[in-house]
Structure 1
């Protein structure tokens, strides 16, 4: 029986698991799934939990007429102390429970490939789960550790995700380099500055090669939220006015629409009080048709499909100067052309925050840009044009390298078995 180790990149948008054979020092296989869970409207036989994970969650969500609960970006709730639990199919689920469902799915698929029950894993984590907040960071890792335990892992180590990406990149080098790694995912942007040397690949102790790391709580979901706020919410009644008392006209609170700009909040935006408030605003608005779209969105659990359209627009704009933002479902109809210039204006604040953090990171760690030999970008958000421009402008002398945006981190985590050498 061979000895295996799993490198697991639990991501906001996608999660990857790389199977590593510790006897042959070879990658045995890779599994990538969307970080999605769909709970059917009703429980299974004997009142058992009834859900599907990954790709199947999307199909089930659509085939089930979107009547159940669709969970996306569950990684975002890990540092949120305000999230205690949610009730689905009459059962309570906390953050660890939800994450464990995805980790267990990955483990089950991998165990089937190797015909073993592997209980050893290096799990990736962002440098900061929530902008350098120690309490939230500790809470998030505790919850992630508990989730790994619930999924069936017994030997667990954690590795910063950009370090995992760096070790994957090191395999392609022919000489020693000072490398700045940027891992831009759905939830966070992380940086690591380290010395990579192909002669050291596989060595147990690499602590001295890691010179600096840091991160900021901004990623692709932030871009999508900004887009939803600027371009999506007007179609859901953001500017709706209502008259609760004769002659006194007010605008519906913007906080309602902030909630539909975040998957993290939309997943749990279902309290009776909020539903009653929305019904009242609709009535006092004179049944405003755009505000009715908000009711349709929430009542029919259409959030994922709206953000799918936003994602398509974003992806198209990585290669084109214009892209349609189009959505047609039930009575909701959106048709708008988005220029690259307009999109970059929408996400400019978030890109500027990443740029500001990068400058701070370099200054605090006394990193001279002239000493950076190469830069390695990974994560789906690294493909956004404004991000590419940011790094090209900051480091005109440095070549921008990239690997597989969906498995680089997991592969490097699988190479991090040295963490078990206490």
Structure 2
């Protein structure tokens, strides 16, 4: 009977699983799904995952419960559980739903019930905080067990990406790997050697790793704050007392700029506050948009519009931020220069971290033979420019931005030898 190992890249935006045949030492299939869960409005219909979650969400007229970017709550001690149809779900429960979907699809392809997996994790789940990092990995481990895995190892995601890249090399290289995902940006500096691709001892090849809690979701949140929230009443005025006109507190709008908060943005108290502000604003139309956004669970569709605009700006110098749903109308042209200015502080934080990473680990940029960028956020123009300016002598390489990590994790079977 064939023996298989699954390499699993559980991501903020997408999740992938690579099936590794341990006899032939080849990857036979790679599966990728959006990291999405949708709980139907009708509790009897249960939930769906991945591509089906979007279809069900739309067919239900966005009335059920839509969960996105659940990876970002793994390190949040403040998140203990959420209630969906009067059932409690903690972070591990939600992650397990996605992992089990991947496992079930893979098991159908292999015809086996595989319990062996190398699961990727960011270098830091939450900015070099040991306590939060431990909490996140513990929750991820529990989720893997709930999904049906019993033989589990963890590998840093950029190391997984590196092992995938190593398959394309013909000689030894010192490589800086940058894995830029939806939630984090991770760096690994290591020696890659095609002659050692199947070695069981790679510890000596890992020279440095680090990461920062900034990714594509950060860009989307920043953009939403600058360009989206004004359409939902961020600048609305209300009459607190007769003759005393104030601006609605901006703190209210932070909740619609972060998916991890929007997912659970359904408390009665905050809804009452919003309704009061709407009344005292004289029924401001833009503030009404905020009520519509929350009541109709439109957050995902708004952020999809932002994501589509971001993707178009990787190829063009201008794109539209366009959204028309349930009376909410947004149609604004955004230039590449304007977008880059909006996300410039996030880019600067990544650049500053990269500089400190190089200095801390005594890495001379001139010693780097190759750069390997992976992850969907690596395609953003400002990210490409950052690396070209920092390393003008080194060619930027990339693989499949959505499957590279999973494939490299599947090549990490040496972890089971320890």
| Higher mean C-alpha displacement, 279-288 vs 248-257 | 248-257
Identify the residue that residue 25 of structure 2 maps to in structure 1: 25
* Residue 28 of structure 1: how far off its partner (Å): 1.2
* Residue 42 of structure 1: how far off its partner (Å): 2.2
Identify the residue that residue 38 of structure 1 maps to in structure 2: 38
**290, 300, 305: which one pairs with 1:304?**
300
Identify the residue that residue 377 of structure 2 maps to in structure 1: 381
Matched, 1:187 2:183: yes
Matched, 1:240 2:236: yes
Matches within 5 A, 1:111-260: 111-260=107-256
- Give me the whole-angstrom Cα distance separating, in 2, the residues matched to 1:127 and 1:174: 28
Q: Secondary structure at the match of 2:345?
A: helix
* Residue 44 of structure 1: how far off its partner (Å): 1.5
* Residue 344 of structure 1: how far off its partner (Å): 0.1
Matched, 1:66 2:75: no
Matched, 1:406 2:402: yes
Matched, 1:270 2:266: yes
Identify the residue that residue 75 of structure 1 maps to in structure 2: 71
Identify the residue that residue 51 of structure 2 maps to in structure 1: 55
TM superposition score normalised by structure 2: 0.99
* Residue 250 of structure 1: how far off its partner (Å): 1.3
Identify the residue that residue 286 of structure 1 maps to in structure 2: 282
* Residue 102 of structure 1: how far off its partner (Å): 0.1
* Residue 346 of structure 1: how far off its partner (Å): 0.4
Return structure 1 stretches of 4+ with deviation > 4 angstroms: none
**84, 92, 95: which one pairs with 1:99?**
95
- Give me the whole-angstrom Cα distance separating, in 2, the residues matched to 1:262 and 1:237: 17
- Give me the whole-angstrom Cα distance separating, in 2, the residues matched to 1:322 and 1:358: 29
- Give me the whole-angstrom Cα distance separating, in 2, the residues matched to 1:323 and 1:342: 11
CA deviations 1:196-238 (Å, max 9, x no partner) are: 0001011001000000000000000000001100110000000
- Give me the whole-angstrom Cα distance separating, in 2, the residues matched to 1:60 and 1:414: 32
Q: Secondary structure at the match of 1:19?
A: strand
TM superposition score normalised by structure 1: 0.99
Matched, 1:16 2:16: yes
* Residue 286 of structure 1: how far off its partner (Å): 0.5
CA deviations 1:28-86 (Å, max 9, x no partner) are: 111100000000112127xxxx0000000000000001000000000000000000100
Matches within 5 A, 1:338-349: 338-349=334-345
* Residue 253 of structure 1: how far off its partner (Å): 1.2
Unmatched 5+ stretches in structure 2: none
- Give me the whole-angstrom Cα distance separating, in 2, the residues matched to 1:101 and 1:308: 22
* Residue 244 of structure 1: how far off its partner (Å): 2.1
| Higher mean C-alpha displacement, 248-257 vs 227-236 | 248-257
- Give me the whole-angstrom Cα distance separating, in 2, the residues matched to 1:27 and 1:131: 33
**353, 362, 367: which one pairs with 2:363?**
367
Q: Secondary structure at the match of 1:173?
A: coil
